[in-house]
Amino acid sequence: MPALVVIAVCLTLTLTAGPILLAGANPLDAYGEYLVVPLTSRYTFLEVLVASTPLLFTGAAVGIAFRAGYWNIGAEGQLLLGAVAAAGIGQVVGELPPLVTLPLMVAGGAVAGAGWALVPALLRVRFRIDEVVTTLLLNPVALLFVNGLLQGPWRDPVSGFPESPRIAAGAELPQLVERSRLHGGFVLAILIIVAAWYVLARTPAGLRLRAAGLSPHAARFAGIDVPRTLLRAALVSGAIAGIAGMSEVAGIQYRLTGGLSAGYGYTGIVVATLGALSMPGVMLAALFLGDLTVGASSAGRALAIPSQLGAVVQGTLLLVTIGLLAVRRNRLSRAVEPAAGEVAVAAEQVTGEELPAAATAIEEAGELEVDGWPEKDRPDPTGESGRPPAAGESNR
Amino acid sequence: MTFLVDLLAATLRNATPLVYGTVGETYAERSGVLNLGIEGTMYAGAFFGFAAAYASGSLLVGLGAALAVGLLAGALMGLLTVTLGANQHVSGIGLTIGLVGLSEFVNRLLFRGGELQRIEPFPLVEPPAFLGPLAPIFSQYALTYLAFLVLVPLAWWILRGTSFGLELRAVGENPEAADAAGISVARTRYLALMFGGALMGLGGAVFTLASLGSFTLDIIAGRGWVCIALVIFGRWRIGRGVIGALLFSAVYSLQLRLRILPGWGDVPFELLLALPYLVVILALAISGRNVAYPGAYLKPYRRT
């Protein structure tokens, strides 16, 4: 997997040389400005960590959900709801000490994010309604909700701008380093990533989640309650995205604003994909994209390359990575075919499943390494009609 | 009466980009590919259509550019999801991020921070005089007439009445069977994605070449996602999708008009605007397991 990411990054940089040349800059200078320069001064280095903070949260949120085979595209909306909850709590706590208010706001953000994730998750596990569309459609609804609050009840009475009043001083996340914007949210994000890594890699709950993602049929056969696992993954994912919103409100903006999230929920998908859905990977990918974000604005000043190139690089990187992953999977399953021939035929007769299920079985026996992308074993959103019953069901 | 006529006219006008987008997305999804690149494709159509019209001084060149950008975006989506079999929703989100970024990047390069550039947009078609008070309803852009009188019937007929439409639906319902019947799954899906992408590009260009005559950031403002909702609301049928677009547009146009009336200033119109999304989710929840998704929805096809 690391090799694949390196190839993806190189390929992306080659592809984006076109737009850089179009802007009249030397691509090599531009790469230096994008990737290296931000790390060379104290201020910009800390800004990289600031820019990575929301991406660490959303990357982890998306990564956990995708790992379980739950396609949460709604981190953006869950983040906004977390921000609303945090701003609401921050406005009413008054003189309470930070030791009380901050945990309260984290909890509020998590509950709000998980709550926003609840309906699509329930629809998915109860009625098998495809969560991609429902989670996606709730993003604009969340943005409208925020705008409604800011145009109406929460409009700042002092300035009259569509921004909420400032949160109480005790509700602000502490500054970590003098003369920088780096705040406690960064530490919180790292803690959450470490915790998520531990749970995924070292606990039965994590094993169940990964099993449900790799092959729901096999997981069910092994006695795992797949719907329940999916529901939990979806809620945890929403909660972490909600905390991202809390972190932006309490660490950067100190109020609710309409432009609070620069698409962090969507960038989380880039982070999770680039990080191969593993928590250490997510951490590196978030730092990398944070570097790129800071680099994009410094390249804008130094080389007159519009900073919007950052988004072009992000999009290209996502497409290249997902394309390379698909290419590798195709090659792998072809390579597996002769070896797994008999198993595959047997599996096909029993379950009507395609070959990769057999490939997964072999992988788990330790003969082959495949990344954790749940893809082919996605449950059929059309429901069960016209489909032979799976082995696990008929045996019960 | 004038209010109603005005509202009806605005409904048709505002529904136009949604109709292009919805029909385009319907084609993609009926062939078995969920194209979440629609938001970015409409954005790129809006920008590159405008840029080409601005540079050449011809609105038709602008339309052509929007169409070409949409075709390319559809082809790229095809390369990822059909040829490579990559994850459809991640591909679509990536396409949207990339195309929005690219449009804004080129926008900054071409019109470097200067004042807002304008072009003379398409004029409204003058309705004949005998319509009297109803005339404003028919005072529309040529692109609106094209959408409702040509595109919708044609797209419906192609899908229902031609062999290509049958192949497209077969490929979306049961690619294995279609393949066995000698239909090229890849070719059909590419065509559906490119045709759909071209329509999405045109839908975006309606904003810059007809309604506004200029390009502003965030010009699509989530209307691509609205189209995704409308396709499902219409249960993957062209006609019902168009009705959904008209309903959404009616609500949208109504709130724009109420907003400026005295006494209505404090009503949370955001709630009204959120309705189409919520209605779709509610409809999905009510119909539950019975939602008739295209059979091969979200599934890449590979010969085994």
Name the closest residue on chain A to residue B299, using Cα atoms: A376
Are the CB atoms for A43 and A182 separated by under 8 Å? no
Identity at A112, one-letter amino acid code: A
A254 to chain B nearest CA, in Å?
24
Identify the residue with better confidence: B54 or A130: B54
Set of chain A residues whose Cβ sits within 8 Å of the Cβ of B100: 311, 315
What is the residue-averaged pLDDT of chain A? 85
B153 to chain A nearest CA, in Å?
27
Residue B156 maps to a domain? yes
Q: Is A69 on the interface with B (CB under 8 A)?
A: no
Structure tokens at A338: 């002769």
Count A/B contacts: CB-CB distance under 8 Å: 175
B142 to chain A nearest CA, in Å?
30
Residues 206-265 of B with CB under 8 A from A: 222, 225-226, 228-229, 232
Q: Is B154 on the interface with A (CB under 8 A)?
A: no
Q: Which domain holds residue A104?
A: 2-394
Q: For chain B, how many structural domains are there in total? A: 1
* pLDDT number for residue A315: 93
Closest CA to A60 of A265, A290, A367: A265
- Residue A136: which of B85, B107, B228 has the nearest Cβ? B228
Which of B48, B90, B96 is the mutation pick for testing A, counting most A CBs within 10 A?
A: B90
Name the closest residue on chain A to residue B232, using Cα atoms: A133
A382 to chain B nearest CA, in Å?
6
Q: Is the dihedral of CA A212, A215, A216, A218 positive or negative?
A: negative
Region B60-86 average pLDDT: 96
Q: Is B34 on the interface with A (CB under 8 A)?
A: yes
Set of chain B residues whose Cβ sits within 8 Å of the Cβ of A312: 98, 101-102, 105
- Residue B31 contacts by C-beta under 8 Å, 6 or more apart in sequence? B168, B171, B172, B188, B189, B192, B193, B294
Residue B125 maps to a domain? no
* Cβ–Cβ below 8 Å for B105 and A308: yes
Residue B74 maps to a domain? yes
* pLDDT number for residue A337: 56
* Cβ–Cβ below 8 Å for B295 and A308: no
* pLDDT number for residue A245: 97
Q: Which domain holds residue B57?
A: 2-111+148-290
* DSSP 8-state secondary structure symbol assigned to residue A165: P
A323 to chain B nearest CA, in Å?
6
B43 to chain A nearest CA, in Å?
14
- Residue A140: which of B90, B107, B277 has the nearest Cβ? B277
Q: Is the pLDDT of residue B80 over 90?
A: yes
- Residue A127: which of B36, B277, B288 has the nearest Cβ? B288
Q: Is the pLDDT of residue B58 over 60?
A: yes
Closest CA to A135 of A56, A234, A262: A234
- Residue A137: which of B76, B280, B295 has the nearest Cβ? B280
Q: Is B66 on the interface with A (CB under 8 A)?
A: no
Which of B39, B83, B93, B227 is the mutation pick for testing A, counting most A CBs within 10 A?
A: B93
Identify the residue with better confidence: A393 or A37: A37
CA-angle at B284, arms to B279 and B287, nearest 5°: 120
Region B250-267 average pLDDT: 78
**A380 in the Ramachandran plot: left (φ > 0), alpha (ψ -120 to 50) or beta?**
beta
* A14-18, B64-68, B105-109, B233-237: range with highest mean pLDDT: B64-68
| DSSP codes joined into one string, A220-247 | HHTT--HHHHHHHHHHHHHHHHHHHHHH
Burial bucket for residue B112 (CB in 10 Å: 0-12, 13-18, 19+):
exposed
Q: For chain A, how many structural domains are there in total? A: 1
Q: What is the pLDDT of residues A294-325, one digit of tens each?
A: 998 888 888 888 888 989 999 999 999 999 99
Q: What is the pLDDT of residues A209-263, one digit of tens each?
A: 999 999 999 999 999 999 999 999 999 999 999 999 999 999 999 999 988 998 9
Q: Is the pLDDT of residue A13 over 80?
A: yes
- Residue A327: which of B84, B292, B299 has the nearest Cβ? B84
pLDDT-derived band at A23 (thresholds 50, 70, 90) equals: confident
Give CA A148 to chain center in angstroms.
Answer: 26
* Cβ–Cβ below 8 Å for B285 and A129: yes
Q: Is the pLDDT of residue A342 over 60?
A: no
* pLDDT number for residue A378: 45
Set of chain B residues whose Cβ sits within 8 Å of the Cβ of A151: 268, 270
CB atoms within 10 A of CB A235: 19
* pLDDT number for residue A299: 85
* DSSP 8-state secondary structure symbol assigned to residue A183: B
pLDDT-derived band at B132 (thresholds 50, 70, 90) equals: confident
Q: Is A312 on the interface with B (CB under 8 A)?
A: yes
- Residue A14 contacts by C-beta under 8 Å, 6 or more apart in sequence? none
CB atoms within 10 A of CB B281: 22
Region A6-13 average pLDDT: 92
Which of A21, A76, A131, A136 is the mutation pick for testing B, counting most B CBs within 10 A?
A: A136
Residue B301 maps to a domain? no
Residue reference for tokens 């329940």? A228
Are the CB atoms for B270 and A144 separated by under 8 Å? yes
B220 to chain A nearest CA, in Å?
12
Residue B123 maps to a domain? no
Q: What is the pLDDT of residues A345-356, one digit of tens each?
A: 444 444 443 434
Set of chain B residues whose Cβ sits within 8 Å of the Cβ of A327: 84
Are the CB atoms for A196 and A203 separated by under 8 Å? no
CATH value at residue A280:
1.10.3470
CATH value at residue B50:
1.10.3470
Set of chain A residues whose Cβ sits within 8 Å of the Cβ of B91: 319, 322
Set of chain A residues whose Cβ sits within 8 Å of the Cβ of B90: 269, 273, 318, 322
Q: Is B104 on the interface with A (CB under 8 A)?
A: yes
* DSSP 8-state secondary structure symbol assigned to residue A33: I
Give CA A60 to chain center in angstroms.
Answer: 5
> Using CA atoms in the order B40, B44, B46, B49, what is the torsion angle rounded to 10 degrees?
-160
Distances (CA, A) of B95 to A139, B44, B73: 18, 11, 8
| DSSP codes joined into one string, chain B | -HHHHHHHHHHHHHHHHHHHHHHHHHHHHHTT---TTHHHHHHHHHHHHHHHHHHHS-HHHHHHHHHHHHHHHHHHHHIIIIIS---HHHHHHHHHHHHHHHHHHHHHHHTTT-SPP---PPPBPPPPGGGGGGHHHH--BHHHHIIIIIIHHHHHHHHHHSHHHHHHHHHHH-HHHHHHTT--HHHHHHHHHHHHHHHHHHHHHIIIIIIISS--TT-STTHHHHHHHHHHHTTT-HHHHHHHHHHHHHHHHHHHHHHTSTT-TTS-HHHHHHHHHHHHHHHHHHHGGG----TTTT------
Set of chain A residues whose Cβ sits within 8 Å of the Cβ of B72: none
Rounded to whole angstroms, the Cα distance separating B35 from B272 reads: 26
* pLDDT number for residue A383: 39
Q: Is A12 on the interface with B (CB under 8 A)?
A: no
Q: Is the pLDDT of residue A395 over 70?
A: no
Q: Is the pLDDT of residue A363 over 70?
A: no
A393 to chain B nearest CA, in Å?
18
Q: Is A161 on the interface with B (CB under 8 A)?
A: no
Rounded to whole angstroms, the Cα distance separating A134 from B230 reads: 13
Residue B298 maps to a domain? no
Structure tokens at A383: 């429901």
> What's the number of CA atoms in the CB half-sphere (13 Å) around residue B158?
17
Residue B242 maps to a domain? yes
* A28-42, A183-197, A328-342, B207-221: range with highest mean pLDDT: A183-197
SS3 label, residue A38: helix
Region A52-71 average pLDDT: 97
Q: Is the dihedral of CA A64, A200, A126, B27 positive or negative?
A: positive
B279 to chain A nearest CA, in Å?
11
Q: Is A273 on the interface with B (CB under 8 A)?
A: yes
- Residue B93: which of A266, A326, A381 has the nearest Cβ? A266
**B130 in the Ramachandran plot: left (φ > 0), alpha (ψ -120 to 50) or beta?**
alpha
Region A84-105 average pLDDT: 93
